[in-house]
Amino acid sequence: MKNSVPVITIDGPTASGKGTVAHRVAQTLGWGVLDSGALYRLTALSVLQKGIDPADPRAVAQVAESLDVAFHSTGVLLEGCEVSAFIRQEEVGNLASRLAPNPALRAALLERQRAFRQAPGLVADGRDMGTIVFQDANLKIFLVADVRARAQRRCKQLIDKGFSANLEDLLADMRERDARDIKRAVAPLLPAQDAHVVDSSTLTIEQTVQSILDLWSRV
Ligand code: C5P
């Protein structure tokens, strides 16, 4: 049976601005938001904390299945501890991207992600929101931006948060992560056939949000 709760999916490469844009669109519509990358990052953090072998797909999937997480308005708790800043670190993002091709891990996170679909609506951001998790989404966006623009944004974000950052290292990292996300066999980073591709390289966040709201108003 078709789910009547509307969903807008926003997929795209790392640092394309998906997170900020998804939050603003959700805020404007009064909807909930799913940051699916956070679930992969939380799994990576938990793998690091528990000393699990990242190369053991079953053990990693078990970590994802038993993740004790709670999202709240300003952050996220892992086993009761606030970890929002930790999961944003490059080390955690990189490990998340190395774990993400594991089909058992992706299967373990599937229902957890679908459970975010609650009235009055959901904006879901990630890599496979439109292709796998919410194939019946009412509007699918594939948000792209030039890799240098993305590295510059990520660099500024990290520095603003008090972390050290180097643009050339970030650029190399981002190219590697994009390639891994695009080339993987399971749920690769690709626009859904019915997705609208939005290039935010030369758009402000407000303009990007507005272009998505315009598309939504025409659905
Ligand atoms: O979006 P974010 O950078 O937080 O995601 C971290 C990593 O998790 C990505 O590099 C990607 O490999 C993985 N991911 C994924 N599918 C999603 C969201 C994130 O594979 N839906």
Residues touching ligand 1 (Cβ under 6 Å) are: 14, 36-37, 40-41, 93, 96-97, 100, 126-128, 177, 181
Ligand 1 center to 178 CA (angstroms): 10
Domain enclosing residue 163, as ranges? 7-217
36-58 pLDDT tens trace: 999 999 999 999 999 999 999 99
Q: How far is residue 133's CA from residue 172's CA, in Å, rounded to a whole number?
A: 29
Residues 92-106 as b or e (16 or more Cβ within 10 Å = b) = bbbbbbebbbbeebb
58-89 pLDDT tens trace: 999 999 999 999 998 889 999 999 999 999 88
Q: How far is residue 43's CA from residue 49's CA, in Å, rounded to a whole number?
A: 10
Ligand 1 center to 96 CA (angstroms): 7
CATH number (domain holding residue 17): 3.40.50.300
1 occurs within a structural domain: no
pLDDT band at 1 (very low <50, low <70, confident <90, very high): low
Nearest atom (ligand 1) to Cα of 15: 3
- DSSP code of 127? S
176-200 pLDDT tens trace: 989 988 998 888 899 999 999 999 9
What are the phi and psi torsion angles at 115 (to 5°)?
Answer: -65, -15
67 occurs within a structural domain: yes
Give the per-residue pLDDT at 157. Answer: 84
Does this model's pTM top 0.75? My answer is: yes
Closest CA to 125 of 33, 60, 51: 33
Ligand 1 center to 87 CA (angstroms): 12
13 occurs within a structural domain: yes
85 occurs within a structural domain: yes
103-137 pLDDT tens trace: 999 999 999 999 999 999 999 999 999 999 999 99
Q: Which residues have C-beta within 8 Å of that of residue 119, sequence separation ≥ 6?
A: 5
DSSP 3-state assignment of 132? helix
2 occurs within a structural domain: no
DSSP string, 37-75: HHHHHHHHHHHHHHT--TT-HHHHHHHHHT--EEEETTE
pLDDT band at 90 (very low <50, low <70, confident <90, very high): confident
91 occurs within a structural domain: yes
**Counted domains in the chain:** 1
